[in-house]
Amino acid sequence: MDSREARRAEILDGRSIAEQIKHEVAQEVQRLREDQGVKPRLCAVLVGDDDASAVYVRNKVRACDQVGINSEQLDLPDSTTTRELLVVVTRLNEHQDVDGILVQLPLPKHIDEASILEAVDPAKDVDGFHPTNVGLLAMGRPRFVPCTPAGIIELLERNQIEIAGANACVVGRSQIVGRPVASLLLQRHATVTICHSRTRDLPSVTRQADILIAAIGRAGFIRGDFIKPGATVIDVGVNKITDAAAAHALFGDETDKRIEAIARRGYTLVGDVHPAEADLVAGRRTPVPGGVGLLTVAMLMRNTLQAAKWRRGV
């Protein structure tokens, strides 16, 4: 039996759900404009010349155009200091026509990231990173939920994957993904385990999970023996692979397409989950690309719409 015949995991398409969410947001944006004369506005701040960050911001600005949200991109040089960036953030806080502020991470190492995130007005913090919004989420009273965790929940719920009563395991404890998604799962009555670099015998823990979320930033780290048969596997990682031999080991029947991508642009993308091995064990999994990343952008659109409504008492 070849790998194509052996494959059993259903691929969870993030693209179709992201398009659904953006369509819903676009309809609400239109109603808000017609009923209140308000058009939401998002301002994205990009510091430095990191190529990946530039692509992410460009995708977010493009999504704003698709749903009818006004957007502005502020490009600042890598030499920008913490003090200078704080001045920019303060100015955006004071602008009444700016509903959402997004400071693209990561920032250059010389900038105090925590100070910048804390300076953003919590009512405009559409990334959900301000301590006030983090605290509200932890209390079960979320105002803005970080976009990737929110997208994961949408993916599960819109695919009618039962969360209540499920054993859920989150591999990774970042403030951006791991901890907030664990909180959201717990609020939906899952039994949640968070794993990290100090977890002993990691595969024995992850194999208990009905829902396994990988968010650690290590290419293909979650192998087949980490996965409970039939589990739903959500892959948050985005890692570049430049070696054809590594692509062959990871992608099975998709190898030719991935090697072509490496030859054409110098790399292909893989998540934190080993796709070929996961397909032989998991019941469902998200692809990379085409999975969680698209939902992250869609949820940013929803958060920006929500900010515009809340700030105006709509």
What share of the chain has pLDDT > 90, as a percent? 94
Dump pLDDT digits (tens) for 172-212. 999 999 999 999 999 999 999 999 999 999 999 999 999 99
Query: If pLDDT is split at 50, 70 and 90, which confidence band does 253 have?
Result: confident
What amino acid is encoded at 24 in this protein?
A: E
Q: If you average pLDDT over residues 128-132, what whole number do you get?
A: 97
pLDDT above 70 for 130: yes
3-state secondary structure of 141: coil
Tell me, yes or no, if 201 is annotated catalytic: no
Sort 242 into a burial class: Cβ within 10 Å, 0-12 / 13-18 / 19+.
Answer: exposed
Binned at pLDDT 50, 70 and 90, residue 2 comes out as very low
User: Does residue 60 carry a catalytic annotation?
Assistant: yes
C-alpha 155/C-alpha 234 separation (Å) is 9
**Alpha carbons 71 and 64: distance in angstroms, whole number:** 6
Residue-by-residue DSSP string for 235-289? E---EEE--HHHHHHHHGGGHHHHHHHHHHHS-EEE-SB-HHHHHTT-SEE--SS
42 close to 304: Cβ distance less than 8 angstroms = yes
> Catalytic one among 22, 60, 124, 228?
60
Residue-wise pLDDT tens digits, 7-26: 689 999 999 999 999 999 99
Q: Which of 261, 274, 273, 268 is closest to 241 using CA atoms? A: 268
Annotated catalytic residue: which of 22, 99, 104, 306?
A: 104
pLDDT at 4: 45
Q: Is 127 one of the annotated active-site residues of the chain?
A: yes
Q: pLDDT tens-digit profile of 31-58?
A: 999 999 999 999 999 999 988 899 999 9
Taken in order of first residue, the domains within the chain and their CATH numbers are 37-122 (3.40.50.10860), 147-295 (3.40.50.720)
pLDDT the model gives residue 6 = 55
Residue 23: count of CB within 10 angstroms of its CB: 13
pLDDT of residue 52: 85
> What percent of the chain lies above the pLDDT cut of 70?
98
- One of 99, 125, 127, 272 is an active-site residue; which one? 127
State residue 7's pLDDT score: 60
What does the pLDDT look like over 201-244, one tens digit per residue?
A: 999 999 999 999 999 999 999 999 999 999 999 999 999 999 99
